[in-house]
Amino acid sequence: MYIHPLNAWESQPEVLDFIRKNAFATLYAQAEGRPWATHLPVFLEGKPEGKFVLHGHLAKANLQWKQLAQAEEVLVVFQGPHAYISSSWYTHENVPTWNYLAVHVYGKVRLIEGEELMHHLKSLVDQFETGRPNRVQVETMSPGYLEGQIRALVGFELEITEVHASAKLSQNRDDENYERILQQLEQSTTPGDLEVAEEMRKRRQTR
């Protein structure tokens, strides 16, 4: 994706945290010669050698999985909060724009099965069940039911080779206009607007 130099997001801990918090991603690859996108949860895992991988799963009925292992490279996109920025908020004439946070992850995929697939499913369920009442665990599911579900899945692990991260948050504005944008977003009832405002406050204190 295009990233303006002012918006380049280079803090690895922040980007990794963003991926964990926005784990419902979009996987882009080919399927039958056409671009194909699958929306799916992925789990970020650190390896002992300092590398990071993503693992996830697709339904066997999804044609995309057949192309994953042969693909030289695939793309996983993580989308965070975003907000419309009206030009009426500025002290001068300007065009409207959009603030957002997004991360693109590139890598090579290998398919996983057996214990690796089971590890992925346990990790994924444990992550999203944490803190919930009546917590579900893969280990407590009946073996017959679980086996039937797994037969319908294809797991994958993506070794991350590149990460492109953009935090477009009005970095090009002076303090006065930055504050005006913040005030408008903080008065909004839209969750995305408030989240963008929070991210902007982290990066610049104007009051």
Provide the whole-model pTM: 0.92
Looking up residue 125, the CATH number of its domain turns out to be 2.30.110.10
Q: Does some domain include residue 199?
A: no
Q: Does some domain include residue 143?
A: yes
Q: Does some domain include residue 201?
A: no
Tens digit of each residue's pLDDT (9 = 90 or more) over 4-27: 999 999 999 999 999 999 999 999
Q: How many domains does the chain have?
A: 1
What string of H, E and C letters represents the secondary structure of the chain? CCCCHHHECCCHHHHHHHHHHCCEEEEEEEECCEEEEEEEECEEEECCCCCEEEEEEEECCCCCHHHHCCCCCEEEEEEEEEEEECHHHCCCCCCCEEEEEEEEEEEEEEEECHHHHHHHHHHHHHHHHCCCCCCCCHHHCCHHHHHHHHHCEEEEEEEEEEEEEEEECCCCCCHHHHHHHHHHHHCCCCHHHHHHHHHHHHHCCCC
Range of the domain at 21: 5-171
Tens digit of each residue's pLDDT (9 = 90 or more) over 84-139: 999 999 999 999 999 999 999 999 999 999 999 999 999 999 999 999 998 999 99
Q: Does some domain include residue 132?
A: yes
Q: Does some domain include residue 203?
A: no
Q: Does some domain include residue 186?
A: no
Q: Does some domain include residue 197?
A: no
Q: Does some domain include residue 62?
A: yes
* pLDDT tier for residue 81 given thresholds of 50, 70 and 90: very high
